[in-house]
Structure 1
Amino acid sequence: MADGTAANRSRRIFLIATEESGDRLGSSLMKALRWRLDGAVRFEGVGGRSMAREGLVSLFPIEDLSIMGLAAVVKQLPMILRRIRDTADAVIAAAPDMLVIIDSPDFTHRVARRVRARRPALPIVDYVSPSVWAWRPGRARAMRRYVDHVLALLPFEPEEYRRLGGPPCTYVGHPLTEQVGMLRPDAQERQRRDAPPPVLLVLPGSRRSEIDHHMAVFGETLRALQADAGAMDVVLLTMPHLIEKVKVAVANWPLQPRIVVGEQGKQAAFRVARAALTKSGTVTLELALAGVPMVTAYRGGAVEAWIAQRVIRTSSVILANLVIGENVIPEFLQETCTPGNLAPALRDILTDSPLRLRQLEAFATLDAIMETGQRSPSERAADIVLETMRASRGPE
């Protein structure tokens, strides 16, 4: 059902998303808002290909901000600061009814602060919470000065905002909850999941630095595992831009993996996998929703590790553990990320061990925790955006 405001003038909504994941969220939100407003809406802002398909003409290509590494950021800092200033100026010039910033807090929050200083009455919604529950918790309270509502992807985040004194925060749902049908096996795929040789997924990461840090130790882990577990069907999931680098890295692996790229291939592999060896990150939640037991690992550079050890406040860095509320997935980070630790843990989850059964029982609770199968995250997000916009200007 469309929103009643459609009978009024067309609304102008400014959106800012500077990464591909945010671009996808922005695209879905635009669709939901257009439906709610019977098409009486105009979008402006910053976005990528997905938002462009919904009619957004981006102020600049978001690839301009795809900068990795401290040295590269320092080198490009003048350009980044100019983009922040220009984007804030564009918001003010557009005089929109609403500003929606989507993820990428290092960029979007700086824009939001500038906009709030120059146009205090403009409502601002932040879609995707910064990880205030993991590090720099003071950000939550600071956000009250320039964010009117936070749309959370993780179910525990609203309580964290209440505890930390942040702005109003509502769980709208994670986009992964809309993909469970493509991640879970049918009857035939379930038979393959339980049949020999077991399918073992290997997910070393999507960044070049992660390939550098993980491929050697993952290969040695498979060598140690093969001695005990025997034959396995190893499937390595990667990104198109990393294929050649990955092929070189697996040349000396004892078990040559099938290399799979693309979303459809990944989802098909998830549906038949017995277990997974994966780097930490959002993919752990994806595997958990698919019902694939896993062992997680992460190695970073020395500076990165030193910073992480001093600022991360959570009992786990594994997203699936945090959502479940229990550390059911073993994590081996930095110096503990060794074949001697990874191989025995993988052997356990490949068999019907207590560790495997404990993970499967925990994963079965995720549908209730994450409200899978209920209204889509973009629909919930659109409703709160419109409620915030209406509240800012009083009754219609």
Structure 2
Amino acid sequence: MMQARATAPIARTIFVVATEASGDRLGANLMKVLRQRLGDAVRFEGVGGQSMAREGLVSLFPIEELSIIGVSAVVKHLPKILRLIRTTADAVVEASPDILVIVDSPDFTHRVARRVRAQDPSIPIIDYVAPSVWAWRPGRASAMRSYVDHVLALLPFEPDEYRRLGGPPCSYVGHPLTEQVTVLRPGIEEQKRREETPPVLLVLPGSRRSEIRHHMAVFGEALGRLKAEGVAFELILPTMPHLQDAVDAALTNWPLQPRVVTGEHEKRAAFRIARAALAKSGTVTLELAIAGVPMVAGYRTGGLEASIIRRLINVKSVILANLVVGENVVPEYLQQDCTPEKLFRALLDVLADTPLRRRQLEAFAKIDTIMSTGNQPPSLRAAEIVLEAMRKSRRSA
């Protein structure tokens, strides 16, 4: 009697598109978990950076081709951007994957998704990182229903907002920062340094050259006023290696010189000993909140971008830490309000033992509960939803 031969599992094709460094890291972690679950029965295609390349992805094009910041720069490079959108969408349709996962960068990835849905409606599409429809252009939520099957949210309040706005199904999977708690929070000796004098003050002007250009002068002047007032502090400026030349050039005009540290390891070490921070608004404010570092936030951008943002913004705060804790505990100074005098005054409050500082620390103490994922890593939660969407799809039946 002949023995039946075991059949090899059907190979699954997963197409992942991520065009920024943060999305590249999310995509890589997702790929790693999916490969653990599917083994050799999965292959990846798509667009990504170095992190996804380490997981075996051969990108359609280098994501550096899309590192374009600012409205005027986008207009100048629009033909190239549109060409890359068409190239990516055509590659998805040709690959005929079991699922398409778009990661953040909605101005690019959603245009790809819409073209794919129009050409082949049978390909399920997952959007990893919910666009901020609760902050601006809320009509995007309902529009997404026509080309996105499921949204994976990094922030706990986003599923409710998507339901309220009539968007596609949305699930909170957790923010990758929640996996960095142990490296962001101080040990016993580091906590002692937080409480010693002079206090460590972090200055975080941004992770893009345009942000360095807009923030360094005003931040430097605010810190100079703090020093002139006789306030003692040790100043640390964490940055990334590719920005060091821009930071060094801007520092030549500062009235005081910080200790500049580069790379993620050095940045986290600085977070663990910091008493307070002056930061540009963005993800770094949530990172500081998780680390338990009271802060002042400021943001400046070009005139055209600022006028567009003012017309479209739909929230009481643009500070991510405030939005997560549900209170405006972090003072924010945007555009014309981002002045050396206002930043200086607010820094006095967060460096000293004041009601403002205590209110921030009390709010930040709630973050673990607010952002809990039940001890399940975000990438694992995200992978489970991707796998479930593949199982439900008639393409994988």
Tell me which amino acid in the other structure corresponds to 1:13. I
Instruction: Tell me the TM-score normalised to structure 2 length.
Output: 0.95
1:118 match: 119
1:1-396 equivalence runs, <5 A = 8-228=9-229, 230-371=231-372, 374-393=375-394
- State TM-score, norm by structure 1: 0.95
Residue 98 of structure 2 contacts residue 396 of structure 2 at CA under 8 Å; is this kept in 1? no
SS of the residue corresponding to residue 72 of structure 1 reads helix
Q: What is the CA RMSD across the aligned residues, in angstroms?
A: 1.6
Q: CA deviation at 1:169?
A: 0.2
Residue identity in the other structure for 2:174: G
SS of corresponding position for 1:179: helix
Deviation (angstroms), 1:168: 0.1
Is the 1:229–1:347 Cα contact (8 Å) retained in structure 2? Answer: no
Question: Given that residues 177 and 373 in structure 1 are in contact (C-alpha distance below 8 angstroms), is that contact kept between their aligned partners in structure 2?
Answer: no
Distance apart, 1:70 and its partner CA? 2.8
Q: Deviations over 1:59-108 (max 9, x none)?
A: 11111111223333223222211111111111111111111111111111
- Structure 1 counterpart of 2:252, one-letter code: A
Q: 1:286 to 1:235 in 2, by over 3 A?
A: same
Of the structure 1 ranges 6-15 and 295-304, higher mean CA displacement relative to structure 2 is found in 6-15
Task: Give the C-alpha shift of residue 212 in structure 1.
Answer: 2.2
The whole-number CA distance in structure 1 between the counterparts of 2:250 and 2:180 is 31
Out of 374-383 and 65-74, give the one that drifted further: 65-74
Over residues 92-146 of structure 1, what are the superposed CA-to-partner deviations in whole Å (9 max), with x where a residue is unaligned? Answer: 1111111111111111111111111111121110001111111110000000000
Aligned residue-pair number = 391
2: CA distance, partners of 1:331 / 1:167: 32
* Distance in structure 2 (CA, Å) of the matches to 1:128 and 1:217: 32
- 2:119 corresponds to which letter in structure 1? R
In the alignment, the residues of structure 2 paired with residue 386 and residue 372 of structure 1 have an alpha-carbon distance, to the nearest angstrom, of 18
- CA displacement, residues 248-274 of structure 1 (integer Å, 9 cap, x when unaligned): 322343331101111011000000000
Secondary structure (helix, strand or coil) at the match of 2:85 reads helix
Letter in 2 for 1:374: N
Quick check: 1:178–1:373 contact (8 Å CA) kept in 2? no
Give the Cα separation in 1 of the matches to 2:8 and 2:391.
14
Give the drift of 1:35: 1.2
Q: Partner of 1:3 in structure 2?
A: none
Shift of 1:174: 0.4
C-alpha distance in structure 2 between counterparts of 1:113 and 1:248, whole Å: 43
Which residue identity is paired with 2:268? Answer: Q
SS in 2 for 1:315: coil
Is the alpha carbon distance of 1:229 and 1:285 closer, same or farther for their aligned partners in structure 2, counting shifts above 3 Å?
farther
Change (3 A) 1:288 1:7: farther
Secondary structure at the residue paired with 1:73? helix
Structure 1: which amino acid aligns with 2:71?
A: L
Distance 2:112 2:307 in 1: 30
Instruction: Render the CA deviation track for 1:329-386: whole Å, top value 9, x for unaligned.
Output: 0001111111221112111111111111100010000001111671111100000001
Q: Give 1:299's aligned amino acid.
A: R
**Cα drift, residue 244 of structure 1:** 2.5
Hey, what's the Cα distance between the residues in 1 that align with 2:127 and 2:246? 36
Counterpart code for 1:197: P
Judged with a 3 Å threshold, the aligned counterparts in structure 2 of structure 1 residues 231 and 373 are, in CA distance, closer, same or farther, namely farther
Is the Cα contact below 8 Å between 2:206 and 2:280 reproduced in 1? yes
How far does residue 229 in structure 1 lie from its aligned partner after superposition? 5.0
**C-alpha distance in 2 between matches for 1:54 and 1:8:** 21
Structure 1: 5+ residue stretches without partners: 1-5
Query: Unaligned regions of 5+ residues in structure 2, if any?
Result: 1-6
Q: Aligned to 2:282, what secondary structure does the other structure show?
A: coil
Q: Distance in 2 between matches of 1:154 and 1:298?
A: 21
The one-letter amino acid paired with 2:307 is: W
Worse overlay, 31-40 or 305-314: 31-40
